[in-house]
Amino acid sequence: MNSNITEFNSETDKAFQTAWHSAKGGDDNWYGFLKSYEAVPLTIEEKEMLLNSEMKIAKGAFPIELRRVYEKIVEKHSAKNDAELNNILASFNIESKVKEYYQKIKPFSGMNDIFSNASTTMNKYSEGLQKEKHHTFKCKNCGAPRLEEMQYDNCLFCGSVLFETK
């Protein structure tokens, strides 16, 4: 295997591990890592919204921030113009990597969790969404509802551009 590929694999692996071992919602180590790639972190307001949304996480940085690091890594390695590496880059599916990551940071859902989550999500956001269900957009990748009180095109949770009408 050529060394560019080895390097790419170890960088993406490190990104995944660093995000995964971060405290819930990101910690100093994660933000230092993000900064080393000049990837843009979520704003405090966005993080606050996500922590109060129905997309619960048990640990780790938010998937959208991992996506932003992946994008920087791919961009950096694309610049090398290595044909063999480019094949690897083309098959590196950020969408599914981010989804795979989300599966790992999801809280364990036993029945009790489902009920307690259901009651805690009866906050002002979900009440609003339930009233206007036909206007709700869900992310095709991770299933997050689009929060209506903010203007954005990409999923705030995982960064996917794919929203669909429920």
Which residues in this chain contact Zn ion in the complex, by CB under 5 A? 139, 141-142, 144, 155, 157-158, 160
Q: Which is nearer to Zn ion, 42 or 85 (CB)?
A: 42
Distance CA 160, CA 154 (A): 5
Residue pair 166/140 in contact (Cβ under 8 Å)? The answer is no
Nearest-approach distance from CB 32 to Zn ion, in angstroms: 25
Phi-psi region of 159 (alpha: psi -120 to 50; beta: other; left: phi over 0): left
State which residue, 85 or 139, has the beta carbon closest to Zn ion: 139
Q: How far is the CB of 107 from Zn ion (least distance, A)?
A: 17
Q: Which is nearer to Zn ion, 66 or 88 (CB)?
A: 66
- Give me the least distance between CB of 161 and Zn ion, in Å please: 9
Measure Cα distances from 118 to 66, 98, 126, 128, 129 in Å: 27, 24, 10, 15, 14
